[in-house]
Structure 1
Amino acid sequence: MYPAPFEYVSVESTAEAVDSLSEYGDREVTLLAGGHSLLPTMKSGLSTPEVIVDLASVESLYGIDHDDGVTRINAMTEYAAIERDETLWNENPVVPEAAAEIADVQVRNMGTIGGNIAHSDPAADLPAAVLAADATIHALGPDGRREIPAANFFEAMFTTALADGELLTAIDVPHLGENDAAAYVKKASASSGYALVGVAAVLETDGEEITDARVAANGAFDHAMALEPVETELVGGSLDDDGVAERAAAFVTDDVESYVLMDDEQASGEFREHLLEVYTERALETTIARVDGGSSANE
């Protein structure tokens, strides 16, 4: 199916992109990053933008910058580049591990982290990883720049805290401490490769006990969500306790009404609840095994 007619605009700077979002009056303007979310919706008729602003020539939106304590991933950086960045695997593996789980190599060579996060597809892999990483999203709009904590970014299906006229420019990912670890695991849909359920976990520890925990899920709800009851149950748990992951995973829907769980032709809400508990336990077990010199995810 062919998309509806549209005007195509290519920009070369973030300022030009922001200007383009407001200069077409009442016409619907959409940004084009990797295109793997936008183009299928256009072909199906679910999205009918009148103007498409292509970000492919904005050089400042590409690349990964490593600094002390934090790594900045610019918005047009492809999944494959994130997956291949060995330094990032050592700094905080939850984001590259999630990127490595996305679709196939062709998609990972074209899809971008900024487009993925801004689209906020409930079945996408990166939103949960960004939440668990405690990342910061950078945005640029008519009123200047602002920083949005990942915890406040994902609001609903295909809805984020980005304001009208704002462009997502980068994601800052904090580094893990010496005794910290992270993991991302998922149950993929056999037909699409999207997550029926995906769980990202980051555990901060003193080498013996869990001092802080961030656990987030995608696929189960209408947007990526932190599993706060699981996090609360983990804090203070011993790394030598073989049952800590299982006990914490039992709290996955402790503060969630059953109707909130996704229920569609891919899987029922009841089955997703079961998967969420199973994959949360797996994510936690994997993370605990990586604490204090355990095997990293890319080895």
Structure 2
Amino acid sequence: MKAAPFAYHRPESVKEAADMLAEFGDDAKVLAGGQSLVPMLAMRLTHFDNLIDISRVGELCGIDLDDGAVRIGATTSHALVGMDDEVADSVPLLTMATPHIGHFQIRTRGTLGGAIAHADPAAEYAAVALALDADMEAHSSRGARTIPAAEFFTGLWETSLASDEILTAARFPAWDGRSGFAVHEFARRHGDFAIAGAVAAVQVDADDRVSRCGVGLLGLGSTPLRGTTAEDALVGQTVSDLGGDAALEIARSTMAAIEDIPADLQGSSAYRARVGATMLARALSEALAAASEKE
């Protein structure tokens, strides 16, 4: 199939793009890498009279270390995020998550901002944003604002962005010290959307006690989820306390606390919860081991 007719616009600045959104209102949609939007348009699952292509707005692309956080422009590709040394040093969870996103063609064209703004429940970068308490920068003709990740994802493919706002960047706090990270997900085939998965960040103190923890969950709700049950269970515990089956028990408790785990052709709610528990347990164990090995 082919997309229904639309008017194509290519602004040269964020201001110009924001002004177009304000002018066209609900009849407009922002186009970045197009890896989600274009197939939906082609299959006529959605339609907009105006597409605003921001892919060549230079100010929206780039990676910078800024005041203890890594700021990534919205049109920065997955591939650039995955190969950037500054990201690997300061936010390794992003580096680990990147290879799980689609195939290399998708990672070359797809953008970090597009993936986050699309708000797919199985989106890796969205789960990382939740786990690390990232902030989203949004811009409209009315001005700019910052949206915490915890307030950004509101429903299936829905965010708290207003209809006239553009996601311009995401800021991911850098974790230093004795920190460990891990990403585990399960999909039918490599490149498919995850049936369930987890990203984990763990920091331990000099006594090997967990002082900080961030968990993001994929494919287990109508939005990416924060694994607060697991976080609460880990903080204050020593690494030795969390050996054996402890991580798996925490993961199972986390699944039990989630309401309305989805069921679809990929599996039942019970199956998805079981897979999610296994993925979370592996991520927690790996992150704990990595953190405790650091001096």
Q: TM-score, normalised by structure 2?
A: 0.94
Q: CA deviation at 1:221?
A: 1.1
Runs of 4+ in structure 1 deviating by more than 3 angstroms, as ranges, are none
CA contact (8 A) 1:63 1:74 kept: yes
| Cα distance in structure 2, aligned partners of 1:135 and 1:190 | 29
Q: CA deviation at 1:117?
A: 0.4
Secondary structure of the residue aligned to 1:107 is: helix
Instruction: Give 2:253's aligned residue.
Output: 251
Q: Which runs of 5+ in 1 are unaligned?
A: 295-299
Q: Which runs of 5+ in 2 are unaligned?
A: none
Distance 1:40 1:109, change over 3 A: same
Question: Is 2:74 the partner of 1:72?
Answer: no
Instruction: Give 1:144's aligned residue.
Output: 143
Secondary structure of the residue aligned to 2:122 is: coil
Q: CA deviation at 1:254?
A: 3.3
| Cα distance in structure 2, aligned partners of 1:277 and 1:255 | 12
CA contact (8 A) 2:102 2:190 kept: no
CA contact (8 A) 1:137 1:171 kept: yes
Secondary structure of the residue aligned to 1:251 is: helix
Instruction: Give 2:164's aligned residue.
Output: 165
Stretch of structure 1 that moved more, 33-42 or 93-102: 93-102
Q: TM-score, normalised by structure 1?
A: 0.93
| Cα distance in structure 2, aligned partners of 1:234 and 1:83 | 28
Deviations 1:264-286 (A, max 9, x none): 11121111000110000011011
| Cα distance in structure 2, aligned partners of 1:93 and 1:192 | 20
Secondary structure of the residue aligned to 1:201 is: strand
Instruction: Give 1:270's aligned residue.
Output: 270
Instruction: Give 1:219's aligned residue.
Output: 219
Q: CA deviation at 1:253?
A: 2.4
Instruction: Give 2:209's aligned residue.
Output: 209
Stretch of structure 1 that moved more, 188-197 or 86-95: 188-197
**Which AA in structure 2 matches 1:28?**
D
| Cα distance in structure 2, aligned partners of 1:137 and 1:116 | 13
Instruction: Give 1:297's aligned residue.
Output: none
Q: CA deviation at 1:32?
A: 0.4
Instruction: Give 2:31's aligned residue.
Output: 32
Superposition CA RMSD, Å: 1.5
Question: Is 2:286 the partner of 1:279?
Answer: no
Deviations 1:45-70 (A, max 9, x none): 11111100000220011111123411
| Cα distance in structure 2, aligned partners of 1:255 and 1:249 | 10
Distance 1:74 1:191, change over 3 A: closer
**Which AA in structure 2 matches 1:134?**
D
Secondary structure of the residue aligned to 1:137 is: strand
| Cα distance in structure 1, aligned partners of 2:152 and 2:261 | 20
CA contact (8 A) 2:214 2:231 kept: yes
Deviations 1:238-260 (A, max 9, x none): 11231342232121223323xx1
Stretch of structure 1 that moved more, 54-63 or 235-244: 235-244
Q: CA deviation at 1:38?
A: 0.2
Write 1 or 2 for the structure with the bigger share of helix.
Answer: 2
Q: Percent identity?
A: 34
Question: Is 2:108 the partner of 1:106?
Answer: no
| Cα distance in structure 1, aligned partners of 2:288 and 2:191 | 30
| Cα distance in structure 1, aligned partners of 2:102 and 2:255 | 27
| Cα distance in structure 2, aligned partners of 1:283 and 1:90 | 19
Instruction: Give 2:232's aligned residue.
Output: 232
Deviations 1:9-46 (A, max 9, x none): 00110001100102125x61000000000011111111
Instruction: Give 1:117's aligned residue.
Output: 116
How many residues get paired? 291
Stretch of structure 1 that moved more, 87-96 or 182-191: 182-191
| Cα distance in structure 1, aligned partners of 2:95 and 2:160 | 23
Q: CA deviation at 1:171?
A: 0.5
CA contact (8 A) 1:117 1:127 kept: yes
| Cα distance in structure 2, aligned partners of 1:61 and 1:36 | 17
**Which AA in structure 1 matches 2:151?**
N
Q: CA deviation at 1:95?
A: 1.4
**Which AA in structure 1 matches 2:45?**
L
